[in-house]
Amino acid sequence: MKRIALLLVLANCSVFLYWRYGDLAATDAPAPSVLPTSAAAPILLVSERPPPKPQCQSLGPVANRLILTAVERWLGDRFGALSEREAMAPASPVFRVQVTTPSADLATRLAQRLKASGVNDVAVLAPDPGETAVIIALGIFSDRANADRRVIDLRRHGVDPAISTIERQTSQWWLDFTSLESPDRDALVHAVPTAPAVTLAPCELAGGNDDAPAAPESSTPPDNGKGLTTPSPASGRAGAAA
């Protein structure tokens, strides 16, 4: 009887403990995660897919107007309407040999003396507004070595010229068109052999963008005689003297 009574006591204790703590364990247990349901993307047949949209493409840069016309004709025959855009790009600098005088009167007299002694390519440049110093240009060169030789030659005439580096810019053009296809560059070079190494880029990245490639220069200032070029006021004022 004692054993039966002991078993009943233990059974009652087990039931009590289950009622007391079993519900808490169930309450503290994390709720099972339920993944959100999302509608699966519909599978479309090829015939049901929307057609691809034409993209704006830009071919360039071209720095020569004659080459641009030929490329434009070839491109227009294959891709229809074109839009031409112009942008500026850095060009190779030129080197100007010059003498600076404090006044226009001294510049005129020195220029006359140099011409009388047989010096060619002498030009008196108009001073900038508000300045009195006047520059005598004694040749513009695309090659720095030719400018150095010019300085040595002019020293024999009693002057000590300086060399000024003049930075330049050149025009370049891009041709924009909208198409699903891209032009065949090999076919373009075959049709227009004089075309430079043009590139194809999205319109938003070409022409005027800092990352866009610069066009190759169409020409450099021709040397005149000993490498001289006729000075021109359009070449700009002096840069930093070399």
CA 183/CA 186 separation, integer angstroms: 9
Mean per-residue pLDDT, 69-97: 91
| Whether residue 74 sits in one domain with residue 106 | no
> Quick one: what percent of the chain has pLDDT higher than 90?
36
Task: Please say whether the beta carbons of 121 and 230 come within 8 A.
Answer: yes
Whether residue 116 is found in the same domain as residue 70: no
pLDDT, tens digit (0-9, with 9 covering 90-100), for 179-217: 888 888 888 888 888 776 788 888 877 665 544 444 444
Cα maximum dimension of the chain: 148
**Is residue 145 assigned to a domain?**
yes
In a domain, 242, yes or no: no
Quick count: other Cβ atoms within 10 Å of Cβ 134? 22
User: Does 144 share its domain with 117?
Assistant: yes
Helix (H), strand (E) at residue 211: none
User: 137 and 76 in one domain?
Assistant: no
pLDDT in tens, 144-183: 999 999 999 999 999 999 999 999 999 999 999 998 888 8
Co-location of 98 and 84 in the same domain: no
| Within a domain: 13 | no
Is the residue at 111 inside a domain? yes
Does residue 225 belong to any structural domain of this protein? no
Structurally, the chain folds into a number of domains equal to 2
pLDDT at 195: 74
Which domain covers residue 66, as residue numbers? 55-89+170-205
Q: Is residue 220 part of a domain?
A: no
How far apart are the C-alpha atoms of 2 and 83, rounded to whole Å?
A: 108
Q: Residue 1 domain-assigned?
A: no
Predicted pLDDT of residue 121: 94
pLDDT at residue number 15: 56
- pLDDT: is 122 or 197 the higher one? 122
Find the distance separating the first CA and the last CA of the chain, reported in whole Å: 122
Answer yes or no: do 85 and 96 share one domain. Answer: no
Question: What is the edge-to-edge ordering of all strands in the sheet holding 162-179?
Answer: 123-124, 134-141, 83-101, 162-179, 55-62, 199-202
Statement: residue 38 has pLDDT above 60: no
